[in-house]
A and B are shown apart, each in its own frame.
Chain A
Amino acid sequence: MKNSKIVFLFVMLLCSSMVIAQQTPAPKQTKAISIEGATAHLGNGKVIENSLIMFDDGKITFVGSALTKIARIGEIIDGKGKHIYPGFILPNSTLGLVEIDAVKATDDDAEMGTWNPHIRSLIAYNTESKVVESMRPNGVLLGQITPRGGRISGTSSVVQFDAWNWEDATVKTNDGIHMNWPNSFTRGRWWLGEDPGLKANKKYADQVSEVTNYFKASKAYNKGSESITNLPFEALQGVFDGSKTLYINANDEKGITDAINFSKENGITKVAIVGGREAYKVANLLKQNNVSVLLQRVHSRPNNDDDDYDLPYKKAKLLVDNGILVALQASGQMERMNSRNLPFYAGTTVAHGLTKEQALQLITINPAKILGIDANYGSIETGKSATLFISEGDALDMRTNIIIHAFIDGRKISLDTHQTKLWKRYSDKFKNQ
Chain B
Amino acid sequence: MIKKHFLIITLLCSFSFYAQDYFPKNDGVKAKNTNYTAFTNAKIFVTPTQVINKGTLLIHNGKVVASGASVNVPKNAVIIDVSGKSIYPSFIDMYSSFGVEKPKRSSSNSRTAQYDASRTGYYWNDHIMPENKAVNKFKYDSKLAKTFINAGFGVVNTHIQDGIVRGQGTLVALNGNEGNETRVLDASSGQYLSFRKSVTSRQAYPSSIMGSMALLRQLYLDADWYAKGHSKTKDLSIEALNLNKSLVQIFDAGSRANILRADKVGDAYGVQYIILGGGDEYERINDIKATNASLIIPINFPKAYDVENAFLASTLSLADMRAWNQKPANPKILADNNVNFALTTHSLKSPDAFKAHLLNAIKHGLSKEKALEALTTIPAQLLGKSNMIGSLKNGHQANFLITSGDVFDKKTKLFENWVQGNQNVIKNMNTKDITGDYEFSLNSQTYKMSISGESNKLKTKITSNEKVRGSKIAYKDDWVNIAFTTADSTKQKFIRIIANVDSDKNLNGKTIMPNGNEFSFFAKHSKKEEDISKEAMKKDDAESEKVFPITYPNNSYGFSALPIAETLLFKNATVWTNEKEGILENTDVLIKNGKIVKIGQNLSDNNAKVIDAKNKHLTSGIIDEHSHIAAASINEGGQNSSAEVSIEDVIDETDVGIYRNLAGGVTSIQILHGSANPIGGRSAIIKLKWGESADNLIYKSSPKFIKFALGENVKQTRHQNGVRFPQTRMGVEQVYVDYFTRAKAYDALKKSGNPYRKDIELDVLAQILNKERYVSCHSYVQSEINMLMKVAERFNFNINTFTHILEGYKVADKMKAHGVGGSTFSDWWAYKYEVNDAIPYNAAIMHNAGVTVAINSDDGEMSRRLNQEAAKSVKYGGISEEEAWKFVTLNPAKLLHIDERVGSIKVGKDADVVLWSHNPLSIYAKAEKTIIEGVTYFDLKQDEIKRSKIKHEKSELINMMMQAKNKGLKTQPIKKKVKEHLHCDSIDNDYQH
Contacts and interface: CB of A to CB of B under 8 A. Distances in A.
Given A4-B878, A337-B831, A422-B839, A310 B663 contact: yes
Nearest to B974: A200
Interface stretch (A64-72, A99-107, A377-385): A99-107
B861 A301 contact: yes
A49 interface: no
A190 B830 contact: no
Contacts of B849: 430
A366 B848 CA distance: 41
B881 interface: yes
A205 interface: no
Contacts of A214: none
Interface in A1-15: 1, 4-5, 7-9, 11-12
Contact of A102 (B663, B718, B976): B718
Contact of B845 (A131, A185, A197, A430): A430
B813 A430 contact: yes
Interface in B835-880: 836-837, 839-841, 845, 848-849, 860-862, 864-865, 868, 871-872, 874-880
Contacts of A102: 712, 717-718, 831-833
A153 interface: no
A212 B813 CA distance: 63
A7 B829 contact: no
A197 B975 contact: yes
Contact of B831 (A1, A101, A184, A344): A101
B831 A426 contact: no
Contact of A101 (B830, B861, B872): B830
B19 interface: no
A135 to B, nearest CB: 12
B317 A4 contact: no
What's the dominant secondary structure at chain B's contact region? loop
Contacts of B490: none
A100 B848 contact: no
Contact of B922 (A9, A130, A397): A397
Interface stretch (B740-748, B886-894, B923-931): B923-931
A205 B865 CA distance: 40
Interface string B957-992: 000000000000000011111110100000001000
Given A99-B830, A351-B924, A305 B813 contact: no
* Most chain A beta-carbon contacts within 10 A, residue among B830, B841, B861: B830
Given A101-B832, A198-B976, A253-B311, A301 B981 contact: yes
A100 B315 contact: no
Given A100-B831, A130-B830, A309-B660, A4 B839 contact: no
Interface in B282-315: 309, 311-312, 314-315
A118 B861 CA distance: 36
Interface in A312-342: 334, 336-337, 340-341
A348 interface: yes
A1 B876 CA distance: 15
B947 A308 contact: yes
B311 A299 contact: no
A101 B831 CA distance: 5
Nearest to B919: A399
B510 interface: no
B493 interface: no
B391 interface: no
Given A102-B831, A398-B871, A197 B809 contact: no
B810 A347 contact: no
Contacts of A190: 989
Nearest to A403: B875
A343 B873 CA distance: 16
Contacts of B977: 197
A197 B976 contact: yes
A279 interface: no
Given A101-B830, A200-B973, A304-B317, A396 B923 contact: yes
Given A1-B880, A301-B660, A336 B830 contact: yes
Contacts of A4: 874, 878-881
Contact of B872 (A184, A299, A310, A398): A398
B556 interface: yes
A17 interface: no
Interface string A1-39: 100110111011000000000000000000000000000
Interface residues of B, number: 76
A12 B845 CA distance: 13
Contacts of B974: 199-200
Given A305-B318, A309-B660, A341-B827, A422 B975 contact: no
A398 B923 contact: yes
A185 B976 contact: yes
Nearest to B918: A351
A234 interface: no
Contacts of B657: 301
Contacts of A351: 917-918, 923-926
B522 interface: no
A306 interface: yes
Contacts of B878: 4-5, 7-9, 11-12
Contacts of B924: 347, 350-351, 397
Contacts of A199: 973-976
A217 B451 CA distance: 65
A197 B972 CA distance: 14
B251 interface: no
B831 A309 contact: no
A423 to B, nearest CB: 4
Nearest to B718: A102
A195 interface: yes
A410 B779 CA distance: 43
B319 A419 contact: no
B312 A200 contact: yes
A99 B712 CA distance: 17
B882 A433 contact: no
A1 B555 CA distance: 43
Contacts of A101: 830-832
B632 to A, nearest CB: 15
B868 A426 contact: no
Contact of B861 (A5, A299, A419, A433): A299
B943 interface: yes
A305 B845 contact: no
Contact of B874 (A200, A398, A433): A398
A12 B844 CA distance: 13
Interface in A238-272: 252-254
Nearest to A6: B878
A65 B691 CA distance: 56
B909 interface: no
A229 interface: no
A337 B831 CA distance: 8
B880 A5 contact: yes
Contacts of A7: 878
B950 interface: yes
Given A190-B989, A306-B318, A350-B923, 17 more contacts: A5-B880, A99-B830, A130-B830, A195-B975, A198-B978, A299-B865, A300-B861, A305-B319, A306-B556, A308-B943, A334-B831, A337-B830, A398-B872, A398-B875, A419-B841, A430-B813, A430-B849
24 contacts: A8-B877, A101-B831, A185-B315, A185-B976, A187-B978, A305-B319, A306-B556, A309-B660, A344-B923, A398-B868, A399-B871, A399-B881, A399-B923, A401-B875, A422-B809, A422-B837, A422-B841, A423-B841, A423-B876, A426-B809, A426-B845, A427-B845, A430-B813, A430-B849
Interface of B: 309, 311-312, 314-315, 317-319, 555-556, 656-657, 659-660, 663, 712, 717-718, 809-810, 812-813, 827-833, 836-837, 839-841, 845, 848-849, 860-862, 864-865, 868, 871-872, 874-882, 917-919, 921-926, 943, 947, 950, 954, 973-979, 981, 989
- List 8 A-B pairs, minimum CB-CB distance, nearest first: A8-B878, A347-B923, A102-B832, A423-B841, A198-B976, A419-B839, A306-B556, A337-B830
